[in-house]
A and B are shown apart, each in its own frame.
Chain A
């Protein structure tokens, strides 16, 4: 296979060599024709040129395509590109064709060679299996022999065993006979008989031994036979192995041979194919070469004639251009002279400019140096300021941090203080309540005490009057005595805005019902009630948006007056109007607003007799009013509510109360009492003196009596008699 040249690979080289040969021969023809090398080259050049020409002509014929010789460079480029594309396509097409052709041939080849290969493969397979069978036949035969040997051996063994058993049985019988005869022999009395018996025994014994010997011999022979057989078998086996090896070798050689043959066949088939292909291709090649040769010759002749034409043309053109050239030359010479002058002028100018520019350049250089110095200074400054900025930034951030911290602490303090304050308030409220209670209790206690004292004083006064002075006693006014507990401030006159509104509306109704015209009567705020009512009704109508939608649905089932009342209540609460005063203020505000509006538009308003505010303006007015009025209201409210309870009590009336209690006994009476006191005191002293004197007299009287008694005793005593000297004597 390898020795034979590959048909697929060979053709190109061959073709190449062929082309060379052909070309050479063709060239030789050309040489012969022209017999001049230069001419030949020239002709070749011409042919190629002509071919280009024809190509371009063809292209021109196909369409007015861009030509290479065109004046427009773009068109030329386009033309070249087109040409390259065409050439590439042509090449590709040729290649494709070749490939297709080759493929086809390959297919054919493969088909033929494949067939060959398949056939040989099948053949070899068959050969192989046959050979294998041939070789393994020996194996099978040996196996068969071996199994036959085994069965034979088994059979022989069985026979042998039977034989041995039979033998053993018969010998046993004989032995038993002998032993039996021994007892018989023992019974024999006569020596002759004994001898006979012994002889017969011996004969029997000999028979047994003979039998045994025979058996042994038989076995020995069998052993020998089997030994022989073993040797034979060995030999046979050796022969078999030899045969096996021989067959294997034979097989190998035959297989090799057939393989080689097959290979040769396949190679031959390949070679044939290759040769036919080669011949075909060569024929084709020669034909094409011939065609080409003819074509070239024809082209050459054509180009020769063309060349002559062109030469003539060239000559003509040359003379023409020479003339043109001369005229042009003269023209251009004059131009050159002019331009030289111009050049000199320009040179002068140039020189001047150059000097100027040099000067400028130096000054600019200096300036640049200055600039660079300035720049560096500025840069330094910039850096410094940058540093400062950075420092400041860091400081600022620190400051911010600090302030943040401070803020946090302060806010904390604030919350804490707030809390404390709240606590304090709570405490204060608590204490206030406690104090209140205690105060009340103390009050009550003190009051009771004071009342008691007052009563006593009054009683004493009465007694003094009745008993001492003998005057009729009339009690002073004692209405405050009936009171008890601390005095409370009375807030009856503080009415809420709602009440005020209700009043306003109700009064109106009453007025209507009773037909009493009280237009002139003014309310507390000095505003006409009717106006107030009107304004309120307007408010009701206009400010519906301030009322809850839920509330409105609820209200729909109510009476008109009630409905407006509730509505007003809601409006007031939304606007922050609380007291009656506020209501009146609001009406006043509206009035003023209206007046202001009227002043602005006098003429229009005069037509309207009503003094009511325009419903369009009421919202604006309301807005202004709430802006003016209601802002402080909330602030005051919160303050007021917190202090409200603490400031409830005022001790203004307490002093009077207590004063009136203290002055239950008037001053005149006290003077009377003082005078009475002094008089009574004098009386009392007199009385006491008298009492003392009475006591003295009593005691002197008693002394007298005692002394009398003593005297009497002395005189009347026995001792006296006994005495030498009688006392009395």
Chain B
């Protein structure tokens, strides 16, 4: 029987509801004798605790009572809390994963939480903040909408994947019929206060931010394509660079498909020099040329960078030489990706010579770089001397039959390389077979030494 235990009751204002319930029960008791009612069971009478908890759930927005509750009651409340509670109430108060799961699923549908470190709450806030940033229109959206969110989500956001950034609206009347994501076509001369969302107001406040992915462009513009929807201005670059410098916890920075040219790359690098925590830098699908490559090379030896990805850029021989020069002295970098550049033999030979001195690099991608036989010769020499490199990708380079033979000879002296991609390199089948045999021997060797080591396929 639900005996009204007033000692257990958390707050006085629930007395009213209690009393009403009690009087109702009394009245019923007076009118009908329970003993005669064959369908009456004790189970139907709601427990007082249940009533109280329901009340708490109902009035959670005005009066969030949580810490006073016991474990079972807490989970009861969490189960019933509305997923539309304002974030100001729920953000720092509720840590229950099931609640946030419900909230995420109510908002975005089913999702994979493993990508978010198995934390639904982190997932919610990251996606929420991403949404806010992605829909931010300069000079139209109030900057406070972002700033208000900061104290709520700063402890939970560790990764920010911004897949689009909207430019300011120049002439809204012209684009009334467009989608909500569409905006001004031409950058005005009278000057909006910013060209895109300014990360400077956000990054220094997110204390746990470790990963930042940014693309200066618009998603799904369809037939409304305009070149200046995909503009990455100097002003943006300055803002972004300063913001990156202010964010001391950042480990991974990815800026893809944003037309980063040499000058912008130099600006970014000059602000990233001596960054305390940056480990991975991804500048793929941009327009980086020789000067940009030189700047990145400088960054290599003035940071803790472990992974550098710069594929599909415009780096040619001299740029690659600068990078190779940096690589020869570097002791932190483990992975370098220069796929789809134009480093040619000039750069390929430089990189191969750098490999002779380098003792940390384990992964090197040089596909599609117009390299030919001289590079193969240099690379085979490097393979003989180097004993740290595990993955080498030389696909889509015209190494030729002789190059293949030279590589085969180099491979016969190497014992560390476990993956070597030489598809579409005009290499003789016989040498290819020999190389794969050598690789397999290395793999077995490694497998015997460390049976837990698994080989990751390099599917880029």
Partner-B contacts on A (CB < 8 A): 128-129, 132-133, 135-137, 139-141, 143-144, 146-147, 150-151
Contact = CB atoms under 8 A, between A and B. Distances in A.
B370 A144 contact: no
B309 to A, nearest CB: 15
B448 interface: no
Contact of A147 (B370, B421, B423): B370
A128 B455 CA distance: 11
13 contacts: A135-B459, A137-B423, A140-B367, A140-B421, A140-B424, A143-B339, A143-B395, A144-B368, A147-B340, A147-B368, A147-B396, A150-B342, A151-B370
Nearest to A150: B342
Top-5 shortest CB links A-B: A147-B368, A132-B457, A143-B368, A144-B396, A143-B396
Nearest to A125: B455
Contact of B395 (A140, A150, A151): A140
Contacts of A144: 368, 396, 424
Interface string B46-62: 00000000000000000
Contacts of A141: 424
Given A129-B457, A143-B367, A151-B370, 9 more contacts: A133-B423, A135-B459, A139-B460, A140-B423, A143-B340, A143-B368, A144-B396, A144-B424, A147-B396
Contacts of A143: 339-340, 367-368, 395-396
A146 B368 contact: yes
Contacts of B423: 133, 137, 140
Nearest to B339: A143
A145 to B, nearest CB: 9
Contacts of B368: 143-144, 146-147
Among B339, B423, B459, the most chain A Cβ lie within 10 Å of the Cβ of B423
Contacts of A128: 457
Among A135, A139, A140, A151, the most chain B Cβ lie within 10 Å of the Cβ of A140
Nearest to B457: A132
A702 B369 CA distance: 186
A126 to B, nearest CB: 10
Interface string B171-187: 00000000000000000
A133 B367 CA distance: 15
Say whether chain B's binding surface is mostly helix, strand, loop, or mixed: loop
A136 B460 CA distance: 8
B115 to A, nearest CB: 19
B340 A132 contact: no
Contacts of A139: 459-460
A146 B424 contact: no
Nearest to B312: A146
Nearest to A132: B457
Contact of A132 (B342, B395, B459): B459
Contacts of B339: 143
Contacts of A136: 457, 459
Nearest to A135: B459
Contacts of B421: 140
Among A137, A141, A143, the most chain B Cβ lie within 10 Å of the Cβ of A143
Contacts of B424: 140-141, 144
Nearest to A248: B459
A150 B313 CA distance: 12
B390 to A, nearest CB: 15
A147 to B, nearest CB: 4
Among B368, B370, B421, the most chain A Cβ lie within 10 Å of the Cβ of B368
Among B339, B396, B459, the most chain A Cβ lie within 10 Å of the Cβ of B396
A136 B458 CA distance: 9
A412 to B, nearest CB: 75
Interface in B373-428: 395-396, 421, 423-424
B310 to A, nearest CB: 15
B272 to A, nearest CB: 29
Interface in B284-340: 339-340
A386 to B, nearest CB: 54
Nearest to A151: B370
A147 B396 CA distance: 8
Contacts of B370: 147, 151
A151 B342 CA distance: 10
Nearest to A136: B459
A444 B340 CA distance: 141
A144 B370 CA distance: 10
A247 to B, nearest CB: 12
A128 B342 CA distance: 32
B453 to A, nearest CB: 13
A699 to B, nearest CB: 153
A146 B457 contact: no
A480 B370 CA distance: 154
B281 to A, nearest CB: 22
B417 to A, nearest CB: 15
Given A146-B340, A151-B370, A140 B457 contact: no
A189 B396 CA distance: 71
A150 B342 CA distance: 10
A535 B396 CA distance: 138
A129 B423 CA distance: 14
Contacts of A140: 367, 395-396, 421, 423-424
Contacts of B367: 140, 143
B108 to A, nearest CB: 24
Interface in B335-383: 339-340, 342, 367-368, 370
A139 B339 CA distance: 12
B328 to A, nearest CB: 27
Interface string B413-454: 000000001011000000000000000000000000000000
Contacts of A133: 423
Contacts of A151: 370
Contacts of B340: 143, 146-147
A557 to B, nearest CB: 94
Contacts of B457: 128-129, 132, 136
A132 B342 CA distance: 26
Contacts of A132: 457, 459
A689 to B, nearest CB: 152
A257 B396 CA distance: 33
Contacts of B396: 140, 143-144, 147
A147 B425 CA distance: 13
Nearest to B311: A143
Nearest to A141: B424
Contacts of B460: 139
A71 to B, nearest CB: 67
Contacts of A147: 340, 368, 370, 396
B456 to A, nearest CB: 10
A651 B408 CA distance: 143
Nearest to B423: A140
B12 to A, nearest CB: 56
Nearest to A154: B342
B432 to A, nearest CB: 12
A128 B459 CA distance: 13
B128 to A, nearest CB: 31
A143 B396 CA distance: 7
A503 to B, nearest CB: 112
B198 to A, nearest CB: 34
A128 B339 CA distance: 24
A135 B396 CA distance: 16
B365 to A, nearest CB: 11
A133 B421 CA distance: 10
Nearest to B460: A139
Nearest to B367: A143
A703 B423 CA distance: 196
B279 to A, nearest CB: 26
A146 B395 CA distance: 13
A662 B424 CA distance: 164
A213 to B, nearest CB: 28
B412 to A, nearest CB: 21
Contacts of A137: 423
A140 B459 CA distance: 10
Contacts of A150: 342
